[in-house]
Structure 1
Amino acid sequence: MRSDVTAYVNSCLKCARRKAFGTSKAPLQPLTPVNRVWERIAMDVVGPIQESVKGYKYILVLSDYASRFVFTFPMKNQTAQTIANILVNKLITKYGAPEIVLTDQGKNFLSNIVQEICKLFRIKQMRTTAYHPQIDGLVERFNRTLCDMLAFYVVDEPEEWDRYLPFVTFAYNTSKQATLKDSPFYLFYGREPILPNDIKINVEKAQELANQHLFKAQTKQKKYYDDGTKNVKYNTSDL
C-alpha cells in the first residue's frame, strides 16, 4: 500500500511541477494586480494521476487571483469538450463569466470550442508564453498543496481520491492565508462558512494541514523555479 501511495504522490507532483528543460528562464515574475473577485482566473490541469474507482484521472483547477479561491473538478479525460462542459455547466452558469482566463499553451485550452465559449461570454483569454509557463506561480503553489493534502487523506484508499477532493478543496478555501489576512472563502463570498460543530472541528484540522502545506509549497515553488533561472542582461550590441 505504501508503494501505491508513493507512486500516487510522485505522479501527481510531476504534473504539478511542470519542469521545463533546455531553456534559460527568468525568475518568477508577478502579473498585474487585480482589483476585484472574478476579474482574472487561472485554469490548469493536474494529471494524469492514479485512476480512481470511478475512472477519474485528471483534475481541472481554476483559481481566482483576487481571493485565491479555487475550484477543482475531477475529469476522466482532459479533452477540450470535457473542459468546455465544466466551464459552462459548473462555473459560468453558477458564478457568472470571469473577465479574463489565463491558461498555458495546452491544445485543450487553445481549441476552437474553448475559444468560442470565451468569445460567447466575452471572456478575454490570456496565454502564458512557451518560455514562461508558470508566470507567478499561483496555480503551481495550489497544485503542490492539493497533491500533498490528497496524499495525506487517501493513504489507505488512494483509488478514492476523487471522493476526498471536495473536502480538501474546501479546507484550503476556508484556511486563512498570511498574504491575504483572510480566507479565500471569505474574500470570494464576503462571509465565513456556516458549519455544524462536529464538522467544524474536522475542517479546522484540515485547515491547519492546508496552511502547513501552503507555506511549504510557496517556499519550495519559488526556490525550485529560481534555482533553474537567471536574470538575463542584454547589452546594446545584443539588440
Structure 2
Amino acid sequence: MRHDSTEYVKRCDRCQRYKPIPNLPAEIYHPQNSPWPFMQWAIDLVGPLPPAPAKKEMMIVVTDYFTKWIEVEALSSTKEADVEQFIWRNIICRFGYPQSLVTDNGSQLEGAEGKWVDELPGVLWAYRPTKRRSTGETPFSLAYGTEAIIPPHVTVPSRTPSR
C-alpha cells in the first residue's frame, strides 16, 4: 500500500505542483486584516466540480476580510476575461475598487456531486446572516448596519374576522 501511494503521488500533477517544500526557511507572519469594509478581498477558484448546465464546472469565490461578506458565481471557465468580468460585476460595480485582492495560489478544490450551481444563492443566503466566530457579527450586519430579516422572523399581519 505504501508503494502504491508513493507511486500515485509521483504521477499526480496536483501533488507535485502544490506539495510543501521541505527545508524552506520560515517567514514572518503577516496577518491579513482590513480597517474598513470592502477594502481587501480574498479570491479563490474552486473546481473542477461535477458539470452543471451550460458546462459550468468551476466557481469563483471572494470574501471581504472586514465583514466576511462573500460573493460566488459558477463559471464554465476560469480564463482571465471571466475572472475580470466577475470582479467588475460583483465587487467593483457593487462595492467600489478594493485596495487589494489576495489569492493563495493554492490548488483548486474538488467538490461533491450534485447540482451545486443551483445551491449557490441559498448558500450565500445562509452564510451572510450567520455570525462569524472571527468578528462575533454577521457579514450582513457589518455590511449594512442592520441584521437581515430571515424567513422565520417574518410575520404577516392578519385581519381578525368580524362577528
Identify the residue that residue 88 of structure 1 maps to in structure 2: 88
Q: CA deviation at 1:76?
A: 0.4
Identify the residue that residue 64 of structure 1 maps to in structure 2: 64
Identify the residue that residue 78 of structure 1 maps to in structure 2: 78
The structure 1 segments of at least 4 consecutive aligned residues displaced by more than 6 Å after TM superposition are none
CA deviation string 1:71-110 (max 9, x = no partner): 11110001001011111123211221111111245xxxxx
Distance 1:80 1:72 in 2: 16
Identify the residue that residue 165 of structure 1 maps to in structure 2: 120
TM-score, structure 1 as length reference: 0.50
* Identical-pair percentage: 22
Higher RCO (CA 8 Å, separation ≥ 6 residues)? 1
Counterparts in 2 of 1:14-93, with a 5 A limit?
A: 19-24=18-23, 26=26, 29-93=29-93
Distance 1:32 1:68 in 2: 12
TM-score, structure 2 as length reference: 0.70
Distance 1:194 1:39 in 2: 26
Identify the residue that residue 135 of structure 2 maps to in structure 1: 180
Q: CA deviation at 1:23?
A: 3.6
Distance change (3 Å), C-alpha of 1:72 and 1:198 = same
- Give unpaired runs (5+ residues) of structure 2: 1-13, 155-163
Distance 1:24 1:52 in 2: 42
Q: Is the 8 A contact 1:53 1:159 kept in 2?
A: no
Cα-Cα RMSD: 3.3
- Give unpaired runs (5+ residues) of structure 1: 1-14, 106-132, 135-139, 152-157, 200-239
Distance change (3 Å), C-alpha of 1:76 and 1:88 = same
Distance 2:27 2:18 in 1: 14
Q: CA deviation at 1:21?
A: 3.4
Identify the residue that residue 5 of structure 2 maps to in structure 1: none
Q: Is the 8 A contact 1:57 1:75 kept in 2?
A: yes
**Which moved further from structure 2: 20-29 or 94-103?**
20-29
Q: Is the 8 A contact 1:41 1:98 kept in 2?
A: yes
Q: Which amino acid aligns with 2:82?
A: T
Report the secondary structure of 1:59's partner residue: strand
Q: Which amino acid aligns with 1:180?
A: T
Alignment length, in residue pairs? Answer: 139
Larger Rg: 2
Distance change (3 Å), C-alpha of 1:21 and 1:83 = same
Distance change (3 Å), C-alpha of 1:80 and 1:168 = same
Distance 2:147 2:124 in 1: 15
Higher helix share: 1
